[in-house]
């Protein structure tokens, strides 16, 4: 029987963000998953402006036409 390969990194979140979640929680989650400093990730709208942290993912997706 073949040996199972060991992971060299911790697994990262792969699934899509929940539409009822907030932009702030998504920014924090991305920072945590990729080991980035808190506040280094910013979600922007199609106009290039920073989205408010209390905005919903659903509205963000709608603005981007997704």
What backbone phi and psi angles, to 5 degrees, belong to 20?
A: -95, 5
Q: What is the pLDDT of residue 41?
A: 93
d(CA 44, CA 48): 5
Q: What is the pLDDT of residue 9?
A: 64
Q: What is the pLDDT along the chain (66 residues), one digit of tens a residue?
A: 667 767 666 655 556 778 899 999 999 988 988 889 989 999 999 999 999 999 999 999 899 888
The model's pTM: 0.70
Q: What is the pLDDT of residue 32?
A: 87
- What are the extents of the domains in the chain? 23-64
Local structure of 32: helix, strand or coil: helix
Q: What is the pLDDT of residue 12?
A: 57
What is the distance of C-alpha 54 from the center of its chain? 14
User: 9: how many CB neighbours lie within 10 A of its CB?
Assistant: 5
């Amino acid at each position: 029987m073949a040996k199972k390969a060991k992971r060299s990194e911790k697994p990262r979140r792969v699934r899509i963000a929940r539409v009822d979640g907030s932009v702030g929680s998504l920014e924090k989650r991305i920072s945590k998953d990729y080991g980035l400093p808190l506040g280094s990730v910013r979600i922007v709208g199609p106009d290039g402006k920073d989205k408010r942290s209390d905005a919903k993912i659903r509205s963000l997706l709608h603005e981007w036409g997704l």
